[in-house]
Each structure stands twice: as structure tokens, then as C-alpha cells.
Structure 1
């Protein structure tokens, strides 16, 4: 049993809110947002739901279609960022090093693409594409396991994650190396959210009694919060994204609640501006995600020259407005790459859905839009994040 196709507009709204939340967090670094709306777990849950819809038709087409939609936007970013890093003096003396063999990860992101410390704002968000790609590649096997043993499939990523966090000194991950270890932790952190998306698409969440669902979600949220408060990050900021096991548990509970809600979204058509914004954010999600941190980094340089700092109480919103204007450039210029990748007719701005189209929207809306990233520039506490001598100083994501 699968959910009716007309419900996907609700998923569009959730994704749009998550994308906006990521951009706001990266601009203002408000730690409590990681608790109020754990966007990344939700986005992986949405991706899992949409992936399940496609897997029911063809596993091969589901995987190849999502890979095709994901990679071109990354290649465009690489075509800009890699030459700029080299021009700026990215060498083997850089703290992150430069191994030309690892540039292959800019083409196929099976691990974090390499980058210089100077370009950290551009590369720090790429963890999401790595994690998403692995979950897509693993989905045919995960789908088979989920259909036979749904509880096992959902709990297994959390069990792997717990093993990585409880092992003394993360010894197992050290053997894998920091790049591979980072992939294992990230996939395990959000794998259960991906499985929750499977449960949503098959109707398993809807069949749960409300009391049982509330207990399940509440238990995950409580366990995640308890782990976070008993295992605070090194900087003491309380950012949920710096505590993988807490993130996995808390995000799973949060995603279960929102996916089960699934309200009718017919009212959205009566607010054309908001409806168009939701459409735009979904159609340009990968572009927004990949370029928003760069726009934020540049907004201070541009804003200073516009004397934004003279706006007094409106200074921070002023810089944010500059960042949004800067972000419009790649969205308008490079955004049509997403249309080409999805085999749609390229458009400067995506056409607004009609009311009828919104109600008839297919369940397999491209999941590549599930792309915002983990909160801002924090540290990865669970895995060494660089070569010996660098330690855990690599910036963390959204």
C-alpha cells in the first residue's frame, strides 16, 4: 500500500521550509534552530519517501535518475571552485592537502571532495551530496530489507552509528581513514531517517496507532536529547549537529511526526506568491544549497562596500539581504542546469504549478531537491577530519 500521489505538495512545503531554515542558520548561526527544526534529518526522510516511490517501479531507473539529477550541479560548482582554489595557492602545504587523485570525488562524490581551507565555505556543504549519493546507491538493497524486516532495516543504521560512537577512541573508524569514516558516520546518522521515508511511502506510518506513533517519536526525541546533554560537544555550544547519535535519534523522531501529519495542501493555491516560492525552492534546491554558503561569505565583503554596517539594528538583516541578492545570481544563471539534469525544458524561473497539477503531482517528484546541509561551521567530533596534525578543525556542515 502506498500513499496517494496528491500528497507530495506537502513534501514540497517541508523541503522548502528546510532549505530556508538551513540558509537562515548558516547566516545567523542560531544553535537552537538545530533543535527546533532538524532540517537534515527531515530532508533525508523526504528523500527516502520519494526514492521508495521510484523503487516500486524500477530500481535501476530510480538510482540512475537520481544520480543524473545530482551530479551536474556539483560539476558546475567544481568548474568554478577548483580553478579558483588552485589560483589562490592551493598546494600540498595547505592544511587540507592537495592530492590530485582525490579530485575524482568532485566528479563522483563517494567521499568528501578535497578543498583548501580558504574555500571552506564552498566545500563544507558537500557532505550532504556524499551521504545522499550513498543512500541512493544502497537503496535497492535497503528496500528489499525494509519490505521483509522493516523494524530491522530502520534500526540497523542507528545500531551502526552507536557502534561508531561507543567504540573506544573510534578505533574502527580510524582503520577506515578519516574520509571513509566520515562517510560511515554520516550514512549511519541519517540512514534511519531514510528508512522512515520508506515507511511513510508504504503507508506503514499511517497504519500506526496515534498513541504508538507518539510514543515511538517521543522516545526517539527523548533519547536523542538525553544523549546530547550527557555527551556535549567539545565547544559546549549544544549544537545538535555536532553529536551524531543524538542527531540520528532526535531527527528520526522529528521526521516521523512530520511525515505522519501529511495535511491537505489545497490552501496553498490560494496564496500564489507562497505557492510560487515553494515551487522555486524545490526546483532550484541543489543550486541554492551548493551556493548559499558562498553568497553568505561574500555578503560581508559586498555589504561593507555598501556601508550596510551603518544600518544600526538592521545591520544583520541588511547583510542577509545582500546574501540573498548574491544567491540570486547562481540561481538564475546556473539553476537551469537542474532542469537539464531532470530532463525538463530549461527555464530562468520554474513555472508555477497549476492547481490541478498540484493535486495530480506524481509520487516520484525528483528527490535531488532534498539537499540542504547540516548547521554551520562546527567540528566533526566523532571522526578525525584531516591528516595527522590537523585534528578536528575541519568546518562542520548544516
Structure 2
């Protein structure tokens, strides 16, 4: 392991900003840990039902503030995509070739996941699982795909949106929210925010790619301003406190992205700026950089397979009966403690998935 970490450190170009890779790794791992903590597979009369501890324990909403890190991923994605496109254009690489390389990194791992579940789902039905249960699990596995689609669309539009000021999509999000909450029949407009909401951090990253990363003063301004806006919108604007969706809730901050979620994303972007310096110092150590580099090499595999890893453990666990924190209703602190204890087991299962399926991502990583 020491030799591997040393080789990774030596093979990294001197001009690579390791802190950006660390931010992307933290964003992916934040989403994974968040899903594992707020997704409950409850067994009731032989049927699987997907629910959330945030429904019965709304006081856990601050958990979503820590682990809902998608804005950071879009921020880094916009920065890296814009830099990559500018380099490709300078070298005379056609736009189609540049886009094909980035799309392959996203969709080849997704195709492998779809192929596996195309076999697993019918097999579960053949072995006697109820259709409702299989449908719930397939929806859980497929739910992260929306992220890939939105990210792929924004990546394809990089030459167009990289010069767009983030204030424009931010204004669109605000106007759409105003319309859908005050005008009868305008609720469908919310889906405009699926693009506009994530354009805000993506365009911010693109602007930083062109003009350089901001300083700590700008980071503090984003953090304070975004946090104050998010708190105000939750406190007085009627937005939910949770920054992820809660089954059965009348309003979600994430489905589609709301103005509160976008404001929270601005605060996260400011925090990301403030972390750049400490991360750069930390990542001078080969061990720290090795962990970040390995996570980035398998980022899409980790993201796509983490729900499958949790489902696999829950399925195997049924052999021992209904286990606390794995098959029981998330209705109290006992469930939270039990679920926390299951996280290393989920991580081990995810490592097995990555070992088996990372090859589909590695082929396109260059």
C-alpha cells in the first residue's frame, strides 16, 4: 500500500490542484453517506417500503445540511469541465471528441449498473418477491440517474453556459419559486429549476476557471450570505428545513431544487473556497492524496453502486430476520444508532462493488 501511495503521488502532475479533487471526493462521499443515513428499507408483511427517518424525526434535519453536497460537485464539475474544454480547444480537439470522452466517463458505469439490475429485478420476481417491493428497490437504485442526466446536459452546454453569470440562473430559480407558490396551476414550472438550480454552482465554477479561484474574503461572503439567505427562507419563507426530500412531505428543497437549496449551495461554495488552502496543505502527504486520488478514479462507480450495496446487505440480512437499523421503521434514536453501526458494513459491500465494476470507469478515465 505504501508503494501504491508513493506511485500515485509521484505520478500526479505538479500543476494539478489536488484540493479540487478532494472537494469532488468529499461531495461524492457526502451524498453516499447521506443516502445511507436517511434511506430506510422497512419490511412490512413481506413487502419492502422505502421511507426516511426525517419523516418521523424532523429534528434530524441538520444531518441533511452536512451530507447534501451536490452543489459542491456541480461547482467543481463546472470548473473542471470549463478548464478541460479550454485546453481541448487550444489543442484543436473537436468539441464532439471532447464531449464524447466526458460522457463515456459518466454513462459506461451507468450502463453496467442498468445491465446488472436488468437481470436482478426479474430474478427477484421469479423467486417470489412482490412486484411492489422490486419496484421500490429499482426506483431507489435508479434515482441517482437524474444527477447524471442533468450533469451530462450541463457538461454538453459548457461552451455556452461557461460565460453565463450565475446571477441569471439564480434569478430564474427565484422567479420560478415565486410563480409556483403564488399562481394556481404553475406548479409544473418547478422543473425549470432542475436545470436553473444546478446551473448556479456550475456557472460559478466555470467563471472561476476563466478568472481564477476567489480569495478567502469572497469565500466568507458566499458562506455568510448563502447561509443567511437559506436560514431566512426556511424561517420566514415557508421552505422545509431538510435540504433533501422527505417522503410524504408537501414540499421538497431538492425535487426540484428550491431557492433555499440554491442559497444553501452558495454557502457550501463559500465553504469550499475556505477549505482550499487547508486541503492543499493536507494533500502534500502521499497517504492523504492517495485516498483522494483513488476515490476520484472510482467516483462514478461509488456514486452509482452505493444504493445497490445497501440493498445487498439488507437482502442478506433477511436471512437472520428483521434486523434493527436495517429492516425496522426509523422511529427513534435506537434506529439512528443501529443504522450508524451498519455504515461500515455498507462501505465494505460498496468496496466489493467497486472492485467488480470499476473497470467500466477506468477504461474511460484517461
TM-score relative to the length of structure 2: 0.71
Match of 1:12 in 2: 21
Select the residue among 337, 344, 353 that pairs with 2:360: 337
Match of 1:102 in 2: none
Query: Cα deviations across residues 121-159 of structure 1 (Å, max 9, x unaligned)?
Result: 21111111011011111111112x34xxxxxx2112122
Select the residue among 196, 218, 221 that pairs with 2:224: 218
Select the residue among 191, 198, 201 that pairs with 2:209: 201
Match of 2:37 in 1: 28
- Bigger shift: residues 299-308 or 20-29: 299-308
Is the contact made by 2:201 and 2:265 (CA closer than 8 Å) also made in structure 1? Answer: yes
Match of 1:283 in 2: 297
Partner SS, residue 57 of structure 1: helix
Partner SS, residue 61 of structure 2: coil
Determine whether 1:77 maps to 2:116: no
Partner SS, residue 56 of structure 1: helix
How far did residue 211 of structure 1 move? 4.4
Match of 1:54 in 2: 84
- Counterpart Cα distance in 2 of 1:239 and 1:174: 14
Match of 2:47 in 1: none
Is the contact made by 1:18 and 1:43 (CA closer than 8 Å) also made in structure 2? Answer: yes
Partner SS, residue 6 of structure 1: coil
Consecutive unaligned residues of structure 2, counting only runs of 5 or more, are 1-12, 39-59, 90-94, 241-245, 326-333
Q: How does 1:306-345 map to 2 (within 5 A)?
A: 309=323, 315-343=338-366
Determine whether 1:42 maps to 2:72: yes
Is the contact made by 2:301 and 2:354 (CA closer than 8 Å) also made in structure 1? Answer: yes
Select the residue among 111, 131, 143 that pairs with 1:124: 143
Match of 2:104 in 1: 68
- Counterpart Cα distance in 2 of 1:170 and 1:132: 31
Is the contact made by 1:308 and 1:319 (CA closer than 8 Å) also made in structure 2? Answer: no
Match of 2:56 in 1: none
Is the contact made by 1:154 and 1:192 (CA closer than 8 Å) also made in structure 2? Answer: yes
Q: Aligned pair in 2 of structure 1 residues 211, 124: CA closer, same or farther (>3 Å)?
A: same
Is the contact made by 2:28 and 2:303 (CA closer than 8 Å) also made in structure 1? Answer: yes
- Counterpart Cα distance in 1 of 2:203 and 2:14: 19
Determine whether 1:262 maps to 2:281: no
- Counterpart Cα distance in 2 of 1:54 and 1:167: 37
After the TM superposition, which parts of structure 1 deviate over 6 Å for at least 4 consecutive aligned residues? 236-239, 310-314
Consecutive unaligned residues of structure 1, counting only runs of 5 or more, are 96-114, 147-152, 176-180, 344-398
Aligned residues: 302
Q: How does 1:374-389 map to 2 (within 5 A)?
A: none
Partner SS, residue 114 of structure 2: helix
Q: Aligned pair in 2 of structure 1 residues 268, 257: CA closer, same or farther (>3 Å)?
A: closer
- Counterpart Cα distance in 2 of 1:166 and 1:275: 44
